[in-house]
Chain A
Amino acid sequence: MGQTPQFDDGVVVGLGTVGKAPAVVVSQESKFLGGGVGEAHGTKMVMAIRLALRGQEILESRSKSSESRGRVAVVISFDTGGVRLQEANAGLLAHSEVMDAFQAARGKVPIIGIVGGTVGCFGGMGFVAASVDVLIMSDVGRLGLTGPGVIEEVVGTEEFDAANRALVWRTTGGRHRFITRDADFIVEDTMKAFREKVAEVASWPIEKIASKRIIGTGEMVLEQMRLVDLAANDRIQDSWDLWRQFGNEDIEYLWDSNVSEFEANARRWPRGRVGDND
């Protein structure tokens, strides 16, 4: 197709440690075809999760006191527009394989996602990121299903003006996703901040990690439906309408404040489940 291939297919997979935990790390590279998921890229992600599960099984088989042996974690850095159109069908199928692998990992190997790249996390990878146990975003990171440019092209500029960068960020950016709890943590957009938060989360007991999930049980579906209800009948025109619903009054201040001030003062969706405030 006149494209130069790259042997890693836009995603780096490796073994390492985060804090004390052995980790399988998956990192998407948006500089290669926008981080798009093609055949090899997708299969690498699926295999990474399957191998993490195998690593955990090996650890557990060695010793009855598995805690002393550590526990494997998966860390995924998303930076992608989703399916790579040059390999559209294979990329699409890979998304379903990743979701299935996530479900297989539930309760065994925690999956920690981070979004802080220049592309963000869009298309099918949007729901993949929403299905991790814990999601960490920077305020530069963006998360969505249909990208602003696609909405503008398909529906029109009245629906979404993709050239309006402030609108793009307040709809898909880390601050908004933190307020709706889709992002569990918001951090400074630095390697150090991401690394520290990932290591902290990886050290938690698996039950605490799982408690941060936003979807994946019948109860969570009903919780999310209450959030959806707020937006029915055009009641929500802008993400800031939702922020106000949650009791955020000085929106401009929140928007302009630095990340730690924002984190300390933002009032988030009152999810209303026990254990949310830890």
Chain B
Amino acid sequence: MPGAGPGGGLEIMINFFGRGRDAIDYIVDEGSFEENLCGGETLDPEWAESAVVGSATLSGETVTVIANDAGIANPRFRMVYAGLMGLEEGFKMAHAVYLTIKADKDKPLAEKRPIILVVDTPGMSPGKVEEIIGIYKSTGAYQLASAEARRAGHPIVAMVVGRAISGGFLCHGLQADRILALSDEFGTMVHVMPLVGIARVTKINIMLLEELSEGNPVFASGVSHFYNLGGVDEIIESVADMRPRVKAQIDEIRRLKAAGEYDKVGPWSRLMSGIKRGGRKTSEKVIELMEEEFNLALSSWLGGEDDGFTP
């Protein structure tokens, strides 16, 4: 596996576990990242520092960057450490997205700045105070902001460089137009729970789970399983490929959005990919059946065309 570091021919295996901040420079134009500068506003540098947000350029174009730095804990909330996202982290990321939308509000579709997510998180903080305040709002706010930005035309590309685990991945990554992930060889972790955890909670024999996971991507860990389900759009085989592939995806997303093809990007497009790649066969049947039954029931539900709606 080729490395992308300086030194030319050296075959060094780079891994970005816990080093989301370092990964930024391998994805955007080197040295262009300005932390806490977001859509023209400057954020408090002491606010939720493990949620790294800022601006950079990619091929000279301004982009918003949102990343995890697992090396920094939050001194105000003790359950926020090692890349876990807490109350402040999710809201800060959401804030960065809304600032981005606001900055480009009056710009044409082709000029809405891209948002690049650098993903390395083991999940949401499992703390008591997080539940008292309601951490579901923090991650929910960020997801809604991302969906709004995506639907407003901003290309959003997530680059998974380390861990994309469970609620952490939902919060930071899964609302993107496209999701790229370094291949399993880089130690990339994409899952809800390792098989041993699933076995413990469901009380299903681990041997059976291991056997089933060979051919079934719906519950097993790993980038390739998520690829088959559509949850990862593209697997990246080398660090040096990250920058050009992120750029190429941004161009492709722009082309699709210019043509109004919003169902060919984002979560719905990944459901369709999962069906195409054979990882979500049941969904295809569910969609067909529901379409069919909806059409059959439509006139009794909404009333016929001529006689108006009568409940």
A92 touching B87 by the CB < 8 A rule? no
User: Hey, which chain A residues are within 8 Å of B98, CB to CB?
Assistant: 217-218, 221
Centre residue among B138, B140, B202 by max chain A CB count within 10 A: B140
B231 touching A93 by the CB < 8 A rule? yes
A55-B298, A225-B91, A228-B91 known; A93+B270 contact, CB < 8 A: yes
Q: In the docked arrangement, what's the CA distance between A232 and B78, Å?
A: 9
B274 touching A93 by the CB < 8 A rule? yes
Chain B interface: which of A44-52, A186-194, A250-258, A259-267?
A44-52
Tell yes or no: B183 within 8 A of A by CB: no
Which B223-265 residues have a C-beta within 8 angstroms of A?
225-226, 229-231
B143 touching A89 by the CB < 8 A rule? no
Q: In the docked arrangement, what's the CA distance between A39 and B280, Å?
A: 7
A90-B229, A151-B127, A159-B128 known; A39+B218 contact, CB < 8 A: yes
Binary per-residue interface labels of chain B (270-311) against chain A in the complex, 1 for a CB within 8 Å, 0 otherwise:
110010000110110011001100100110011001001101
Chain A: number of interface residues, binned into ranges: 35 or more
B286 touching A43 by the CB < 8 A rule? yes
A75 to chain B, nearest CB (A): 14
Q: In the docked arrangement, what's the CA distance between A270 and B204, Å?
A: 47
Q: In the docked arrangement, what's the CA distance between A148 and B131, Å?
A: 9
Chain A interface: which of B7-15, B56-64, B144-152?
B144-152
Chain A interface: which of B19-27, B28-36, B106-114, B165-173?
B165-173
Which A180-228 residues have a C-beta within 8 angstroms of B?
180, 182, 214-218, 220-222, 224-225, 227-228
Binary per-residue interface labels of chain A (231-250) against chain B in the complex, 1 for a CB within 8 Å, 0 otherwise:
11110111100100000000
B75 and chain A: residue at smallest CB distance: A233
Which B111-169 residues have a C-beta within 8 angstroms of A?
124, 126-141, 143-145, 147-148, 150-151, 166-167, 169
User: Hey, which chain A residues are within 8 Å of B298, CB to CB?
Assistant: 55, 58
User: Hey, which chain B residues are within 8 Å of A102, CB to CB?
Assistant: 144, 147
Tell yes or no: B88 within 8 A of A by CB: yes
Which of A21, A39, A222 touches B95 (beta carbons < 8 Å)? A222
A209 to chain B, nearest CB (A): 16
Which B56-103 residues have a C-beta within 8 angstroms of A?
76-79, 87-88, 91, 94-95, 98-99, 101-102
Binary per-residue interface labels of chain A (1-35) against chain B in the complex, 1 for a CB within 8 Å, 0 otherwise:
11000000000010111001110000000000000
A87 to chain B, nearest CB (A): 5
Q: In the docked arrangement, what's the CA distance between A230 and B132, Å?
A: 11
B129 touching A89 by the CB < 8 A rule? no
Tell yes or no: B191 within 8 A of A by CB: yes
A99 touching B144 by the CB < 8 A rule? yes
A69-B308, A85-B193, A224-B138 known; A96+B174 contact, CB < 8 A: yes
Tell yes or no: A154 within 8 A of B by CB: yes
Tell yes or no: A146 within 8 A of B by CB: yes
Sample of 23 A–B contacts (CB below 8 Å): A15-B297, A15-B301, A20-B311, A22-B311, A38-B218, A40-B283, A46-B271, A47-B287, A51-B291, A68-B308, A88-B192, A89-B231, A96-B267, A99-B140, A100-B150, A148-B131, A171-B132, A215-B144, A218-B101, A221-B91, A228-B133, A231-B77, A232-B76
Binding site for B on A (CB under 8 A): 1-2, 13, 15-17, 20-22, 38-40, 43-44, 46-48, 51, 54-55, 58-59, 62-63, 68-70, 83, 85-93, 95-97, 99-104, 106, 123-124, 126-131, 143-146, 148, 150-151, 154-155, 159-160, 171-172, 176-177, 180, 182, 214-218, 220-222, 224-225, 227-228, 230-234, 236-239, 242
